A = this chain, B = another copy of it.
Amino acid sequence: MSKAKRLIDILLFVSAKKKFTAQEIADTFHISVRTVHRYLLDLSDMGLPIYAEQGRHGGYTVLSNAILPPILFTEEEAVAIFFAFQSLHYYRDLPFNTEIQSVSQKLYESLQKEAKKKVDTLQSYIAFWNPKRAITTPLLTDVLEAIINQSQLHIHYESKSGITSKHIQPIGVYAHDGLWYMPALLLSSERILLFRVDRIKGIKVGETNRKTTMNLQQWLETDYEPQQPIRLYVELSSEGVRQCLSEPHLEKAVVRHSDGTGYIDTIIDQHELHFNSSLFFRLGQHAIVKEPQALIQLLRQHAHELLAIYPEPKEPQ
């Protein structure tokens, strides 16, 4: 076997083992101890952070984490990695920050001048924006770790009714619009609730109970069966069509006439009425709600409420 191959084998072996003596390596690879010393010197020269302790019970220790065998990337692949990193830019409190730094550095250094420029351009002209809120999520890393380990959690959670304690089994965690959400099984009641990770004020890791509920993908893709289904029928002007197509929860239900106008005809849950009323208030005459009556009444009621809050000025302007 060539020296290079054997060096890599030893590199992988020692980086996995972290602590070892020269004799062990010699036995494992059937080479002499003298050669092991020479090899370790080579690896050290190649940048492996390794140090030796002298004396009885001494030995070598590798400082870095497990190392992968050398990988050849094309320039385009490197650029793709930078592109992906760019998408994390507008998040706060993410894990892997140091790793992303070190990967970026390693890649950038080995790029040629032209490709470096390409990466620079990409970073200046492409962004994955999300609201860079003042809100921090200091416990995000802990939550992620717990989820990867499938641990149960005891959390202190801030909700409308103040801070409460909950014992949960997280289903996963996802980012949306700059905030992190965690659907989790409430162990006291076997119901699934959605938590905002930034509102978790304290966390205690419990046992790793591989209670298989659903996974995150399933949860996200669930089309919730409306528990109190109700028909939503709305006539839209062409502007109404345009706007409703930009509403994720409605876009699938929009039907377009050839003249640009259209309508919505779908089944929603009673609970969503309130949320929708806000949209149709904004759209005004661009969206005429025909059904359900409850929604119409909600709009009307809201309108009355507003008029009560903001009464007509006594003297006309």
Q: How many residues of A contact B (CB 8 A)?
A: 99
Q: State whether A127 touches B299 (Cβ < 8 A).
A: no
Q: How far is the CB of A212 from chain B (nearest CB, A)?
A: 11
Complex alpha-carbon distance, A75 and B144, angstroms: 17
Q: How far is the CB of A102 from chain B (nearest CB, A)?
A: 6
Complex alpha-carbon distance, A309 and B281, angstroms: 11
Report the nearest B residue to A295, measured CB to CB: B310
Cβ contacts under 8 Å, A310 to chain B: 289, 296, 299-300
Report the nearest B residue to A260, measured CB to CB: B162
Report the nearest B residue to A102, measured CB to CB: B77
With A85-B84, A95-B83, A307-B300 in contact, do A126 and B66 touch (Cβ < 8 Å)?
no
Complex alpha-carbon distance, A300 and B99, angstroms: 54
B-contacting residues, A102-145, CB 8 Å: 102-103, 106-107, 110-112, 115, 118, 121-122, 124-131, 133-135, 144
With A131-B248, A278-B282 in contact, do A173 and B68 touch (Cβ < 8 Å)?
no
Q: State whether B77 touches A72 (Cβ < 8 A).
A: no
**Which of the residues B130, B251, B285 comes within 8 Å of A135, measured between beta carbons?**
B251
Q: Does residue A100 face the partner (Cβ distance < 8 Å to B)? A: yes
Q: How far is the CB of A297 from chain B (nearest CB, A)?
A: 8
Complex alpha-carbon distance, A302 and B68, angstroms: 63
Cβ contacts under 8 Å, A172 to chain B: 124-127
Q: State whether B309 touches A285 (Cβ < 8 A).
A: yes
Quick check: which of A19-27, A28-36, A239-247, A265-273 contacts chain B, the rest being far away? A239-247
Complex alpha-carbon distance, A304 and B300, angstroms: 9
Q: State whether A66 touches B281 (Cβ < 8 A).
A: no
Q: Does residue A1 face the partner (Cβ distance < 8 Å to B)? A: no
Cβ contacts under 8 Å, A176 to chain B: 129-130
Q: Does residue A87 face the partner (Cβ distance < 8 Å to B)? A: yes
**Which of the residues B3, B65, B95, B177 comes within 8 Å of A74, measured between beta carbons?**
B65
Complex alpha-carbon distance, A12 and B130, angstroms: 39
**Which of the residues B71, B111, B245, B309 comes within 8 Å of A288, measured between beta carbons?**
B309
Q: State whether B306 touches A281 (Cβ < 8 A).
A: yes
With A84-B84, A99-B77 in contact, do A215 and B125 touch (Cβ < 8 Å)?
yes
Q: State whether A251 touches B133 (Cβ < 8 A).
A: yes
Task: List 10 A-B pairs, minimum CB-CB distance, nearest first.
Answer: A131-B248, A70-B70, A80-B99, A80-B96, A303-B303, A84-B84, A127-B174, A125-B172, A278-B282, A66-B75
With A147-B125, A245-B135, A284-B309 in contact, do A84 and B67 touch (Cβ < 8 Å)?
no
Q: State whether A174 touches B126 (Cβ < 8 A).
A: yes
Cβ contacts under 8 Å, A255 to chain B: none
Complex alpha-carbon distance, A148 and B114, angstroms: 12
Q: Does residue A305 face the partner (Cβ distance < 8 Å to B)? A: yes
Report the nearest B residue to A300, measured CB to CB: B310
What would be 17 A-B contacts, judged by CB atoms less than 8 Å apart? A67-B73, A68-B78, A68-B111, A69-B110, A72-B106, A76-B99, A80-B96, A84-B87, A84-B96, A87-B175, A118-B148, A121-B148, A126-B173, A129-B176, A160-B242, A281-B281, A300-B312
